[in-house]
Structures are given as structure tokens and as C-alpha cells.
Amino acid sequence: QRRSIDSTLFIYRKGAHVLYVQIYVDDIIFGSSSKKLCDKFSSLMSSHFEMSMMGELTFFLGLQIRQLTDGIFINQEKYIRDMLAKFDMSNITTKSTPMSPPNNLHADPDGQHVNPTLYRGMIGSLMYLTASRPDIMFATCLCARYQASPRESHLLAVKRIFKYLKGTSSLGLWYPKESSFDLVAYSDSDYAGCMLDRKSTSGGCQLLGGRLTSWSSKKQHTVSISTAEAEYVSAVSCCAQVLWMKNQLADYDLNFSKIPIMCDNTSAIAITHNPVQHSKTKHIDIRYHFICDHVMKGDVEIYFIPTDDQLADIF
């Protein structure tokens, strides 16, 4: 059966067992609670199509996947080594953080120009790496804002990310086998953090049973005039991602309601519960108020969390 939400996902059920088949262009990942179902599907596909069976999943789209008895570990260590070699940075010294605080990266109009092709190539390589390295997400997206006219200060910031990766190439994502399937989201933002146009940056992450499954760091479309507005807009972006995940998980017969979104701003939480009585929110674009509808419908719930416990702060 092709699933209704994700048209590239197929599910076959036989008794107590189930077979999941996920297609990505010309690659197929499949798994089952029964090895017999896997073998049967493998034989069936090989008899109808010219294809190669790669065996147990260990490598996919640049991701290295280690299936262990107590969980799954995903990283891109080989990709990092190849990337460092490509840009002739295999022998660089290492750094303990992807960027140096505070964030004072700006347009630097008087700085020395650097090769834009090289700069964009480095940014593109880092963006692909964020698929398994959420720790470089914010720094990479920050440097990506200066691709139009990169300066030496921007290139130095990018090289620092490479130096950080050199010393942390083995880091990745750990998905333990024994954990629940509770869906929890975290939402955060800075305020007027972009030195180019003073727009804020939204950060968010979603965890399924304690497993980090989705994350983002994105500059907001509009300029916020208060921290509450910046946090509110960030919560809206997080809510949209949560609703998408909720629909996707329905294909796996996992149904959620009142999904908690953790926010560290009480004013933003108040706006989500009752925007009508907040006269100071009239200037906020109406498209950002859709989160209120989903709070009333019971799809999501907004909770306060102390800033020190805000996981989305890294984004």
C-alpha cells in the first residue's frame, strides 16, 4: 500500500509482521520485523528489475549508518575527510567550537574580497553536512548569508568551522533502541541578530522519544520589534514542522495530539493562547497567527521552559 502522506513510502502487512519500503529516486531502503519478508521482497524486485542488492544498510546518500544491538549511529566521517582533502585542509589545526563568541560577523564592506566560487563551494559542502551535524547548523547558516560578496573575515569564519570538524569528525547522531515515541519540540530565537538587516533567527528542533529527528536554523522573513515577536514567529515555524511530522508519522500508524512545544518566552506563549486581546500584536502578519488555531484544536500545546534547558538555543 502506498501511503497517503508520503507517496514514496510503501507498507506491506502480513499477520503480525510489517515491511516498510522507502524510495528515494533510484535508491530503495526497506526493512521488516521478519527476515523472510525482506528476503521475499528482495527476490521479487530482482526478478522484475535490473538492480543491485547492497545488503544491510551501512551507507546512504553520504550518511554512514552503523546498526548496533542497542541502537543506530549515523554520521558522515568519511564525507568530512573527503571534504577537508578537497579544500586542502587535511592538516589544519583543530578548534573546540565552530565559531568564536560573540557573533560579530557582518558585511565587512572594507574587507578584502575572496574567491566567491571557493567560498560558495565550502558553504555548499557544509550545508550537506548539516544532515548529521546539528552542532554546525547555526554557524554554517550564518556564514551562508554572505555568499553574494564574501570577504576575508567571512572566509576565516568558514575555515574555523572546518577546523572544528577536523577535531570532531567522528561525532554523529545516536538513536537508542529502547525509548518511547513521544514527540516533543523546542523553539527559540535570537533578537535582531543578523548584522545585515537586523532580522532575527529562528531555531527549532523536534525529538521523537528523545531522538533528535529534525532541526532548523533560519533567518526570519520580517524584522521583529520585540523579543516576544521574534519568539512567537519562531514558535510558528516550529509548529509548522511539528504538524508536518504529525502527518508523516500517521503513515506509520503513530497518532499524536497536544504535541508540546517548549518556549522560553512567556509573552510569546500568551500570544499563542489569545492574540485578540493583545493590541501590540496587530502589526504581526496574519500568517503567523495560524499557531493559535492549532493550539485551540489541541494539535499542539505551548509550554514554558527555562532558558538554561532550551535545547533549540544551539540553533
Q: Annotate the chain with three-state secondary structure.
A: CECCCCCCEEEEEECCEEEEEEEECCEEEEEECCHHHHHHHHHHHHHHCCCCCCCCCCEECCEEEEEECCEEEEECHHHHHHHHHHCCCCCCCCCCCCCCCCCCCCCCCCCCECCHHHHHHHHHHHHHHCCCCHHHHHHHHHHHCCCCCCEHHHHHHHHHHHHHHHHCCCCEEEEECCCCCCEEEEEEECCCCCCCCCCCEEEEEEEECCEEEEEEEEECCCCCCCHHHHHHHHHHHHHHHHHHHHHHHHCCCCCCCCEEEEECCHHHHHHHHCCCCCHHHCCCCHHHHHHHHHHHHCCEEEEECCHHHCHHHHC
pLDDT tens track for 63-100: 999 999 999 999 999 999 999 999 999 999 999 999 98
Query: What is the pLDDT, as a whole number, of residue 275?
Result: 59
**Cβ neighbours of residue 200 under 8 Å, at least 6 residues apart?**
189, 190, 191, 192, 193, 194, 219, 220, 223, 224, 230, 233, 234
Query: What is the pLDDT, as a whole number, of residue 282?
Result: 65
Whether 120 maps to a domain, the answer reads yes
Q: Residue 306: pLDDT above 80?
A: yes
Using a pLDDT cut of 90, give the percent of the chain over it: 70
Using a pLDDT cut of 70, give the percent of the chain over it: 97
85 and 48 share one domain = no
163 and 187 share one domain = no
220 and 270 share one domain = yes
pLDDT band at 278 (very low <50, low <70, confident <90, very high): low
Whether 84 maps to a domain, the answer reads yes
Report the pLDDT averaged over residues 202-207: 96
Q: Which residue in 254, 216, 248 sits closest to 235, CA to CA?
A: 216
Q: State the pTM of this model.
A: 0.88
232 and 308 share one domain = yes
Supply the range of the domain harboring residue 212: 180-314
245 and 161 share one domain = no
84 and 115 share one domain = yes
Q: What Rg value do the Cα atoms of the chain yield, rounded?
A: 22
Whether 264 maps to a domain, the answer reads yes
**Cβ neighbours of residue 25 under 8 Å, at least 6 residues apart?**
none
Whether 228 maps to a domain, the answer reads yes
Whether 160 maps to a domain, the answer reads yes
Other beta carbons within 10 angstroms of residue 29's beta carbon come to 14
What are the C-alpha distances in Å from 284 to residues 189, 195, 228, 261, 288? 16, 22, 11, 20, 7
Query: What is the pLDDT, as a whole number, of residue 279?
Result: 56
163 and 213 share one domain = no
Q: Is 117 exposed, middle or buried (0-12, 13-18, 19+ CB in 10 A)?
A: exposed
159 and 275 share one domain = no
The domain boundary, picked from 167, 188, 209, lies at: 167
Report the pLDDT averaged over residues 240-252: 91
Residue 216 phi/psi, 5° resolution? -155, 155
pLDDT band at 127 (very low <50, low <70, confident <90, very high): very high
pLDDT tens track for 13-58: 988 899 999 998 888 999 998 999 999 999 999 899 988 888 888 9
pLDDT band at 204 (very low <50, low <70, confident <90, very high): very high
188 and 159 share one domain = no
Other beta carbons within 10 angstroms of residue 245's beta carbon come to 19
The residue with greater pLDDT, 288 or 149, is 149
107 and 31 share one domain = no
194 and 263 share one domain = yes
Whether 86 maps to a domain, the answer reads yes
149 and 193 share one domain = no
Residue 213 phi/psi, 5° resolution? -115, -20
Q: Which residues pair with 38 in a beta bridge?
A: none
Report the number of distinct structural domains present in the chain.
Answer: 3
Whether 271 maps to a domain, the answer reads yes
Burial pattern 120-155, b for ≥16 Cβ within 10 A else e, equals eebbebbeebbebbbbbbbbbbbbbbbeeebbebbb
Whether 65 maps to a domain, the answer reads no
